[in-house]
Amino acid sequence: MAKTNSLRQILTNRRFWVSIALLGLILFYCFGPSRLFLDREALVTYLRTLGIWSPILFVIIYAISTIIGAPSVIFTIAGGAVFGLIWGTIYSVIGATLGAVGAFWLSRYLLRGWVERRFGGHPTLQRFEGAIAIHALQFVLIVRFPPITPFNVENFLFGLTSIAWQPYTLGTFIGIIPGTIAYTWLGVTGAETLEGGSYISFILAISFFVFLSVLTLWVSRRRDRSSSRQ
């Protein structure tokens, strides 16, 4: 009887089914047809054969890869090679934002309660929460702006905080645009260079990427100096 009740509790636990669904996504991603998408050239070739369906599949796979924490930069670069700078950026931003929101809710639903009980009094988490409480949207924008950041890790970390999903989603959508443009531009110019085009555009794309990275470091240092003076 006790075993029956325990089994019934497990089967009626929503977290159990969410975990099963997540495991299924990971297995599908690693061993299903989508494993080909870990190869940029294979992804570009496959997307080009899909015609009008390629943007839809691109956004879906991009979102799934972000939810399960798989590297997503390859999708952004491939999006530039297939769709061009403008549409490649748009599709990548949509896919990345959808995946970030999915990872956010997954983390909040499965882990937040445990983290609060275990690490709720930790000074780092309290400072993080304090920054969110004062300027939630601004904080998300600052975190999302750098082109080289642990994007997938950030998604799950935000889910462990008390931030509302609205500023998180808006801040993510806007904040990742500069970095997405940089990676997409690299994809566009890289494909053109490999096909015998001018390498000048590729150098400009790399320069833009470096500029965003340096700008982020400069702003971060100025902010740290201002905080220390206060």
* HSE value, Cβ hemisphere, 13 Å, CA-based, for 196: 0
In whole angstroms, give the CA distance from residue 136 to residue 165: 10
As to burial, measured by CB atoms within 10 angstroms (0-12 exposed, 13-18 middle, 19+ buried), residue 13 is exposed
Q: Summarize the confidence of residues 153-174 as an average pLDDT.
A: 89
Looking at every residue in the chain, the average pLDDT score rounds to 76
Which tens digit of pLDDT belongs to each residue from 87-129? Answer: 999 999 999 999 999 989 888 887 776 666 665 566 767 777 7
**pTM attached to this predicted model:** 0.75
Q: In the chain, how long is the greatest CA-to-CA distance? A: 74
Q: 28 burial class (0-12, 13-18, 19+ CB within 10 angstroms)?
A: middle
Write the pLDDT tens digit of every residue in 3-55.
454 545 544 455 555 566 556 656 655 555 555 556 667 777 778 888 888 99
Three-state SS letters, the chain: CHHHHHHHHHHCCHHHHHHHHHHHHHHHHHHCHHHHHHCHHHHHHHHHCCHHHHHHHHHHHHHHHHHCCCCCHHHHHHHHHHHHHHHHHHHHHHHHHHHHHHHHHHHHHHCHHHHHHHHCCCHHHHHHHHHHHHCHHHHHHHHHCCCCCCHHHHHHHHHCCCCCHHHHHHHHHHHCHHHHHHHHHHHHHHHHHHCCCCCHHHHHHHHHHHHHHHHHHHHHHHHHHHHHHC
pLDDT of residue 89: 95
Tokens representing 58?
A: 């691109």
Task: Specify whether the CB–CB gap between 96 and 132 falls below 8 A.
Answer: no
Structure token pair of residue 110: 């499965």
Domain range list for the chain = 18-229
Give ∠ CA 75-30-78 in degrees, rounded to 5. 15
